[in-house]
């Protein structure tokens, strides 16, 4: 009996969890099924937003990265990451996109916050490509869902909290200067090309 309890990692029905590939879900039940002659204990996890239910073998919880929600201190750290300066590597977009995707699917709230910070664009900044926008929106949704679940707030309230942190980052707080800096960077690149 004690091995079952340690394998369950303390997950209980009704509890909200984070499943890296899908975001915040809720453990609906723990059930036993017989598959190919083996008895398997499964977490039944519901993702209301995606209208989807997953059955996760209890023994596979660690390998798929399922975890408990962050605590309030973890949320604060993630929001603090959003106030930092964006770190964008000067590598090909396809490689950066893979790195962003890996961070989003890691389930680590700090890594997800880094993606949101790095891909965020204010109205004064240039338009994003479709794939950049998709990655940004996925990361933002995951972050907002977890903030809302931890705060027991609505998605709208959580979004306001996230946007409040994003507005404090150095790049956004200068307003008009950011556009001037971007223009200066463009001039430099034109000279190099000439």
What is the tens place of the pLDDT at every residue in 43-54?
A: 999 998 888 999
Other C-beta atoms lying within 10 Å of the C-beta of residue 123: 4
When mean pLDDT is compared across 21-30, 32-41, 88-97, 180-189, the lowest value belongs to: 180-189
Length of the chain: 194
As a whole number of angstroms, the distance between CA 24 and CA 54 comes to 12
Instruction: Please check whether residue 88 is in contact with residue 117, taking contact to mean a CB–CB distance below 8 angstroms.
Output: no
From the centroid of its chain, how far is CA 22? 10
Confidence of residue 28 (pLDDT cuts 50, 70, 90): very high
Sole residue written with tokens 């209890």: 58
Determine whether domain 72-172 maps to CATH 1.20.58.1290: yes
More confident residue, 103 or 171: 103
CA distance 94 to 103: 14
pLDDT band with cut points at 50, 70 and 90 for residue 89: confident
- Other beta carbons within 10 angstroms of residue 5's beta carbon come to 9
Q: What is the pLDDT of residue 8?
A: 63
Cα distance between residue 18 and residue 51, in whole Å: 16
Rounded Cα–Cα distance for residues 135 and 115 (Å): 8
pLDDT digit string (tens) for 122-160? 777 777 889 999 999 999 999 999 999 999 899 999 999
Task: Select 2-68's CATH number: 3.30.1330.20, 2.40.110.10, 2.40.50.140, 2.40.10.170.
Answer: 2.40.10.170
Q: How far is CA 80 from CA 51, 84, 104, 110, in A?
A: 31, 7, 18, 9
Residue-level pLDDT at 2: 38
pLDDT-derived band at 21, boundaries 50, 70, 90: confident
User: Structural domain boundaries of the chain?
Assistant: 2-68, 72-172
- For residue 7, name the pLDDT band (cuts at 50, 70, 90): very low
Burial degree of 121 (CB within 10 A; 0-12, 13-18, 19+): middle
Q: How much is the pTM? A: 0.78
Higher pLDDT, 94 or 189: 94
Two structure tokens written together for 23? 């975001």
Q: What is the pLDDT of residue 1?
A: 39
């Amino acid at each position: 009996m004690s091995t079952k309890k340690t394998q369950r990692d303390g997950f209980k029905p009704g509890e909200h969890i984070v499943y890296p590939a899908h975001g915040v879900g809720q453990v609906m039940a723990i059930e036993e099924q017989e598959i190919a002659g083996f008895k398997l204990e499964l977490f039944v996890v519901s993702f209301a937003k995606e209208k989807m239910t997953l059955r996760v073998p209890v023994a596979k919880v660690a390998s798929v990265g399922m975890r408990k929600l962050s605590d309030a201190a973890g949320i604060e750290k993630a929001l603090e990451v959003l106030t930092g300066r964006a770190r964008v590597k000067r590598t090909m977009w396809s490689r950066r996109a893979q790195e962003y995707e890996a961070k989003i699917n890691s389930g680590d709230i700090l890594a997800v916050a880094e993606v949101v910070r790095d891909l965020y664009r204010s109205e004064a900044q240039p338009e994003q490509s479709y794939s950049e926008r998709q990655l940004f929106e996925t990361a933002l949704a995951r972050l907002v869902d977890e903030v809302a679940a931890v705060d027991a707030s609505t998605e709208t309230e959580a979004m306001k909290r996230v946007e409040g942190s994003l507005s404090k980052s150095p790049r956004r707080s200068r307003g008009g200067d950011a556009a001037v800096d971007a223009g200066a960077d463009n001039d430099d690149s034109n000279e190099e090309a000439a």
